[in-house]
Amino acid sequence: MNPPDLENRILSIFLEVAPDVDPATLQRDVPFRDQFDFDSMDTLNFALGLHKEFGVEVPETDYRELASLARTAAYLATALEHRS
Amino acid sequence: MAHDFRMPSLGPDMESGTLLEWRIKPGDEVRRGDIVALVETDKGAIDVESFAAGTVEKLLVAPGTRVPVGMVLARFSGAEVQAAAAPEEAAPAAAARAEQSPALAEPAAALAAAATASAPAQRQRISPAARVRARQLGIDPAQVTGSGVGGAVTLEDIARYAAAVAASPPPAEPARAAPDMRQVIARAMTRSKREIPHYYLSLTCSFLAARTWIEQYNAGVGIQGRLLPSALMLKAVALAAQAMPEFNGFYRDGQFIPSASVHVGMAIAMRGGRLVAPAILDAGTKTIDVVMSELRDLTTRVRAGHMRSAELTASTITVTSLAEEGVDLIVPAIYPPQTAIVGFGSILERPWIVNGTVRPAPLVTITVAGDHRVTDGRAGARFLAYIRDALQAPQRL
């Protein structure tokens, strides 16, 4: 999967968790928390969505890797590569 | 027996709401608790539940119509009318409502509205002047919610009703924009600070046992089953409220009315600066995994704009947490007509002395704001200690 595809799939999961966010305003390198008041409940739902979409179970200790869109993409790219 | 389904009051400040969608049609069987309509209020769109069971006979209002609180929206036939969730609370609610101006009507007025709706056969109280005026204006007084003594319809109620009807756009026109939620919060909090003689206490305790337990628990379940600290906090408060009923209920009509059920409201921030505190119903009797899944469901629905009417009006005590915002503690304001609110500050790594040795530990400062008309600092201290002790034995939550 090329990086833009991966980010788009992540973005669509993010928007399921935060349907009230305008994706046009999202900055890929800035933490969700700083942009959209993302809290631990949002992070949990985000991790759950990623698990459903990619089959990757993100352990609690890795939640910080889901801080921003760019960071989530990098984390998932590695996780998916290791799996295949 | 026929039953009228009326526009419920869903907030301290609600005078009217816009029917957005019917979830029922004539001929449908409705059970108690079924979602029958989607109503736009200043808190966003709310799924409104039925308090009665029966067959839908007729829908009286078209989607898109703005209607005053108390107006009949639909008629059910063969309705098996149940008493409102908390009948002992409903009657005082109606009385309290009668005493106050509509702008200050109780958040729990929905219970009163439900009680009114559940007793259509009851004779309506109306002042003679109001009856005359209603006849002049061609208004059916049964459609009007009374704000006078004992729920009596006053001349003013008739005028307000007439104005609201005149203001409501014809069906199918776009709904008028909802008022700013900031105003709703402002009114509730102004009333809180004006009427409730608050006292405040705080207590700092270790969150180590709870955190360790959560980590172990979460390692053994899938993502779906993972717990957050807020679920433990909420359950601990629910147990404390069960054990000390003087902190669980409503202050109305110059007296405290304890609630038999513990419905813990959880302050949930919505993006864009809005705040609501819907309830986890019967939180004290639910297991921690159920509390967590309901909390997750509730947060998700609140942020997506799908709250249910019962959740919005049922809270008997409230919990507010700024656990992720870096603050030490919260000094919260009680949400009237409740009589207590519990705040949790951030869980922060701090020095802590155990058996004479200083070591780092995650600490949390818990605060309670209590109502001096009901309890004193001493009871508040016991209440806080109960919450602290519950958090030290998380496996029992």
Whether residue A45 and residue B300 make contact (CB cut-off 8 A), yes or no, is: yes
Whether residue A18 and residue B271 make contact (CB cut-off 8 A), yes or no, is: yes
Tokens of B395: 């496996």
Supply the mean pLDDT for chain B. 82
Domains of chain B: 3-167 (2.40.50.100), 181-396 (3.30.559.10)
In degrees, rounded to 5, the angle at the alpha carbon of residue B370 between the alpha carbons of residues B385 and B327 is: 70
Which residues of chain B neighbour A48 with C-beta distances below 8 Å?
223-224
Give the up-direction half-sphere exposure of residue A16: CA atoms within 13 A in the CB hemisphere.
14
- Closest residue, chain A, to B217 (C-alpha): A60
Residue A10 sits at φ, ψ, to 5 deg, of -65, -40
More confident residue, B22 or B132: B22
Q: What is the mean pLDDT of residues B368-383?
A: 98
CA proximity to B234, closest of B290, B314, B305: B290
In degrees, rounded to 5, the angle at the alpha carbon of residue A15 between the alpha carbons of residues B283 and B20 is: 70
Enumerate the H helices of B305-376 as residue ranges. Answer: 309-313
Identify the band that residue B158 occupies on the pLDDT scale cut at 50, 70 and 90.
confident
The reply to whether A23 falls in a domain is no
Which residues of chain B neighbour A45 with C-beta distances below 8 Å?
296, 300
Question: Which residue among B226, B272, B304 places its CB closest to the CB of A44?
Answer: B226
Question: Which residue among B218, B271, B295 places its CB closest to the CB of A37?
Answer: B271
The reply to whether A43 falls in a domain is yes
Counting residues of chain A whose pLDDT is more than 70, the rounded percentage is 98
The reply to whether A14 falls in a domain is yes
Q: What is the mean pLDDT of residues B272-280?
A: 85
Domain limits at A61? Answer: 3-18+29-83
Which residues of chain A neighbour B45 with C-beta distances below 8 Å?
none
CA proximity to B248, closest of B309, B318, B333, B321: B318
- pLDDT at position B176, please? 41
Counting residues of chain B whose pLDDT is more than 70, the rounded percentage is 80
Which residues of chain B neighbour A18 with C-beta distances below 8 Å?
271, 303
A48: part of which helix (H) or strand (E)? helix A40-54
Sequential DSSP letters for B160-182 = HHHHHHHHSPPTTSPPPPPPPHH
| pLDDT(A14) > 70 | yes
Q: For B51-94, what is each residue's pLDDT tens digit?
A: 888 889 888 888 888 888 888 899 888 877 654 444 333 333 33
Other C-beta atoms closer than 10 Å to the C-beta of A45 total: 21
CA distance to partner chain A, nearest, from residue B259 (Å): 29
Query: Chain B window 300-339: which residues touch A at a Cβ cutoff of 8 Å?
Result: 300, 303-305, 323-324
Which residues of chain A neighbour B295 with C-beta distances below 8 Å?
41
The reply to whether A64 falls in a domain is yes
The reply to whether A24 falls in a domain is no
Which residues of chain B neighbour A47 with C-beta distances below 8 Å?
223
CATH number of the CATH domain containing A73: 1.10.1200
CA distance to partner chain B, nearest, from residue A22 (Å): 12
Question: Which residue among A20, A44, A48 places its CB closest to the CB of B228?
Answer: A44
Interchain contact B271–A (C-beta under 8 A): yes
Per-residue HEC secondary structure of B111-162 comes to HHHHHHHHCCCCCCCECHHHHHHHHHHCCCHHHCCCCCHHHCECHHHHHHHH
Radius of gyration of chain B from its Cα atoms, rounded to whole angstroms: 22
Identify the band that residue B357 occupies on the pLDDT scale cut at 50, 70 and 90.
very high
The reply to whether A35 falls in a domain is yes
CA distance to partner chain B, nearest, from residue A57 (Å): 7
More confident residue, B162 or B357: B357
The reply to whether A38 falls in a domain is yes
B317: part of which helix (H) or strand (E)? strand B317-321
Q: For B112-124, what is each residue's pLDDT tens digit?
A: 333 333 333 345 6
Q: For B324-340, what is each residue's pLDDT tens digit?
A: 778 999 999 999 999 99
The reply to whether A66 falls in a domain is yes
Domain count for chain A: 1
Identify the residue whose tokens are 């698990």.
Answer: A51
Interchain contact B242–A (C-beta under 8 A): no
Supply the mean pLDDT for chain A. 90
Q: What is the mean pLDDT of residues B312-326?
A: 88
Interchain contact A47–B (C-beta under 8 A): yes
Other C-beta atoms closer than 10 Å to the C-beta of B203 total: 17
